[in-house]
Amino acid sequence: MDLSLTEEQSLIRDTARQFAETELMPVAAQLDQTSDAELLQQQLRKLAELGFMGINIDAQYGGTEAGSVAFSLAITEIAKGCASTAVTTSVTNMVAEVIQAVGSQTQKQRYLPKLCSGEYAAGAFCLTEPAAGSDPAAMKTRAVRDGDSYVLDGGKIFITSAEYAGVFVVWAVTDPAAAKGKGISCFLVEAGTPGLIIGKREEKMGQKASATNEVRFENCRVPAEALMGQENQGFRIAAGELAGGRIGIGSLALGVGLAAIDYARAYIAERQQFGQSLINFQGLQWMLADTYTELEAARLLLMNAACTKERGEAFGSQASMAKLFASEAANKACYTALQLLGGYGYIKEYPLERNARDVRITSIYEGTSEVQRIIIARELMRGL
C-alpha cells in the first residue's frame, strides 16, 4: 500500500498549513472571544479564493477537483489554526458535495460556483431537529406539494453557518404515511426566501466564532425545481453525505489535537523544573509518545476512509471508525496537552483551554461516538 501523497495533495496540505499559520492562528483567540462574524467571513473568502470551498467539486463548477484525501488534509491543517473556520469550511464542502452528487444540472450550475468562489460565504446542512438528533429519520418538518411549489413548515436546530449561508440543504417529510425514513425528501432553499427564519445564535462552549442557529420554516414556499433527487428518497442522500461529513469532522478533530500537543511539546522543552527541562522526564515523554501514536493512528484511519471514498467504494463503516477514533483521541490529546502545561494550561492566555473547548464537540456532531459504534457494529453483524 502506497501512503505517499501526490504532488497536488502535498501542495494543498502545505497551502492550508501556511494559511493556518499566517492568517488563522494570529486571530484564533480574537475570534473565540468576540465571535466576530465579519472577521470569520473574511477568512472564508480567502479560503474560497485558494480553492478550499470546493475541494472535491468538479472544475467545471469552479471546484478544485482534488478529491477526498486532499479534503481531509486541508481540514486538518485549517483546524490547527482555527476550529471555527475549519468546521465552516467542512460543512460548506459537504453542502457542495451533496449538490454535486444528487442535484440537477441546473442546480449544480446555479449553486456550486457560488459556493466554490465564496460568493456564498457558506452553505448550511439542515437535518437535525429538537426531537430528531441521533435519529434523524424521526424528523417532523413537512413539505407539502402545492401546484408547482412545495410549502415547508417545521424547525431545525444546531445549523452551522445559518446566519450567513447562501443556500440551505433541507430535509423534510413529503409522505407522512410512509414507513419511517422512507417518505423524506431533500430541498434547496436560498437565503432570503420568505418563510425561512434564522433563529437565535447558540451560546456554545467552544468553536464560538462559527454561528450555530435554529432555523424555522413557516409557510416557506419553494419551487418544485428545488427538490433534489427523487421525492421520498432524501433520507438515503442524508445518510450518504453524513458519512463524508464524518471524514471532515474527524480531520478537524485531528487538527485540533495536533495543535494542542504540538504546543505542549514545545512548552515542556523550554519549561524548567527541578533544575532541568520538563521534556527530560520520562513520564512526560511517555505522555507525548502515547498521544502522538494515537493521533497518527487517527490520521491513518482518516486516510483509509478518504481513499476508499475516492475510489468510489462503500466507505460508511470506515468513516465511522475514523471519526470515532479521531475525535476520541483528539479529546484525550487536548486534555493531555493541558495537563502538561499545568496551571498555565487552564489560563486563557494560552491556547490549550480553547483547544479543549473546541475539540469537545467533535465526539458529538456529525453523529455521536455512540452512534458511530452502532453503525460499525451494524456493519459487523451484516457480515455474518
pLDDT in tens, 101-138: 999 999 999 999 999 999 999 999 999 999 988 888 89
Q: Are residues 374 and 258 in the same domain?
A: yes
pTM above 0.85, yes or no: yes
Q: Which residues have a catalytic role annotated?
A: 366
Q: Are residues 12 and 133 in the same domain?
A: no
- The DSSP code for 330 is H
Q: What CATH number is associated with residue 93?
A: 1.10.540.10
Residues 168-190 as b or e (16 or more Cβ within 10 Å = b): bbbbbbbeeeeeebebbbbbbbb
* Domain end position, chosen among 66, 98, 122: 122
Mean pLDDT across the chain: 95
- Longest Cα–Cα distance in the chain: 80
Give the pLDDT confidence score for residue 236 in this predicted structure: 83
Mean of pLDDT values over 261-285: 95
Q: Are residues 221 and 115 in the same domain?
A: no
Q: Are residues 197 and 256 in the same domain?
A: no
Give the pLDDT confidence score for residue 43 in this predicted structure: 97
Mean of pLDDT values over 145-161: 97
Give the pLDDT confidence score for residue 29 in this predicted structure: 95
Quote the CA–CA distance of 343 and 8 in Å, as a whole number: 42
All residues at 6 or more sequence positions from 16 whose CB lies less than 8 Å from its CB, including other chains: 52, 73, 74, 76, 77, 78
Q: What is the pLDDT of residues 76-103, one digit of tens each?
A: 999 999 999 999 999 999 999 999 999 9
Phi, psi of 232 (to 5 degrees): 70, 10
The DSSP H or E segment spanning 328 is helix 316-341
Q: Are residues 223 and 243 in the same domain?
A: no
Quote the CA–CA distance of 127 and 124 in Å, as a whole number: 10
- Note down the domain range covering 82: 7-122
Residue 1 has pLDDT above 70, yes or no: no
The total of structural domains in the chain comes to 3
Please, which residues bridge with residue 262 across strands? none
Residue 1 maps to a domain: no
Of 231, 74, 229, nearest to 145 (Cα)?
231
Chain CA centroid to CA 16, Å: 16
Q: Are residues 242 and 378 in the same domain?
A: yes
Q: Are residues 320 and 247 in the same domain?
A: yes
Q: Are residues 22 and 94 in the same domain?
A: yes
Residue 260 has pLDDT above 80, yes or no: yes
Phi, psi of 180 (to 5 degrees): -50, 125
- Cell match 465552516: residue? 88
Q: Are residues 102 and 161 in the same domain?
A: no
Give the pLDDT confidence score for residue 317 in this predicted structure: 95
Q: What is the pLDDT of residues 200-218, one digit of tens each?
A: 899 999 999 999 999 999 9
pLDDT above 90: percentage of residues in the chain: 92
